[in-house]
Amino acid sequence: MSGLCLLVQPIHPRGVRVLEAAGLVVRQASASTMDAVAREVKDAVAAITRNAGFDRDAMAAAPRLRVLGNHGTGYDPVDVAYAREIGLPIVYTPFANVQSVAEHAISQMMAIAKRVRECDRAVRQDNFDYRYARDFHELSGKTLLIFGFGKIGRRTAEIARLAFAMRVLVYSPSAEDAAIVSAGCVPVGDLGRALAEADIVSLHQRLTPQTRGMFDRERIAGMKAGAVLVNTARGALVEVDALVAAVENGHLRGAAMDVFETEPLPAGHPYARCDGILLSPHTGGATEEALERTAVETARQVVDVLAGRRPEFLVDPDVWARRRAPAHA
């Protein structure tokens, strides 16, 4: 096996070693912008991207490209429709970061319940009496609403139930009630009623035209007073101004955002000016363990495709039967 594999963004060194061991030349793109990628992907037989995605122009600029590796589970920044049109298989890793993101969601819940960031700031400012000034809560016994019951949502629910004895409600139009019940959770069909009941709402839903902006001013206003919103899924699920207003006026105790519609977060963004929203730079799946698993699994599947072996996880399985042939064929 030979040829170039272009990395749109860096991946764990173990993944690079898998690619090189298969005979591929691995090169890092000079920038993760699609303009740069389109210029540099021309001779590549494979490419791997992370949250930068891969657009139509980049694909059109790569006539030799036989596989695109999507490093992670979310692939909405990738032009899947055009890849289908040109017969380009896209591999992804739906399991590799599940534990990492679920732990991150739980950690954000804890940070807000215990006011961890504020406590740290108080001690540094010689305000030890802060412990008398604010309310601190346990997660135990609280009601958690999981919105989206895929692998990450399911694992988050499991940790919440088993580690913290939380009552877990699940709203998921695509999950069977029996599967939710068998996981020890309570299925709910009315999102509005569930929001009014939940102490914490954790988002794990894919971004679709139907879910974009789903947590708007009306839906956030319908959340229980003093509740917390945690988003480790996709930033565009939440309407920015609505969330900021709800936190600033005290309707919500706080919120945590690990994902944003535009990344990096633009300068002067309303979230950055709202002290009650806990921000992290899309690090939910960025533990060393998850990054290594994701890179290795992505690389192995890229190698499988180039070797003519059907990979384990295809974004669009139907593409496999009519995938691109090697350029020399």
- Would you please indicate which residues are annotated as catalytic (active-site) residues? 234, 263, 282
Please write down the HEC assignment for all residues of 157-185.
HHHHHHHHCCEEEEECCCCCHHHHHHCCC
Dihedral sign from CA coordinates of 140, 183, 105, 15: positive
Query: What order do you get walking across the sheet with 167-171 strand by strand?
Result: 186-187, 167-171, 143-147, 200-203, 227-231, 252-257, 277-279
Q: Look up residue 252 and give its two tokens.
A: 């919500």
- Can you tell me the distance from the alpha carbon of 146 to that of 164, in angstroms, rounded to the nearest whole number? 15
DSSP annotation of 93 reads: -
- Can you tell me the distance from the alpha carbon of 175 to that of 179, in angstroms, rounded to the nearest whole number? 7
24 contacts 5 by C-beta, under 8 angstroms: yes
State the Cα angle at 45 between 71 and 55, rounded to 5°.
55
Dihedral sign from CA coordinates of 135, 140, 145, 146: positive
By CB atoms closer than 10 A (0-12, 13-18, 19+), residue 243 is buried
DSSP annotation of 71 reads: S
CB-hemisphere CA count at 13 Å for 135?
Answer: 6
- Can you tell me the distance from the alpha carbon of 182 to that of 22, in angstroms, rounded to the nearest whole number? 42
Maximum distance among all alpha carbons in the chain? 74
Q: Look up residue 51 and give its two tokens.
A: 């949250």
Q: Distance between alpha carbon 143 and the CA centroid of its chain, in Å?
A: 23
Identity of residue 273: R
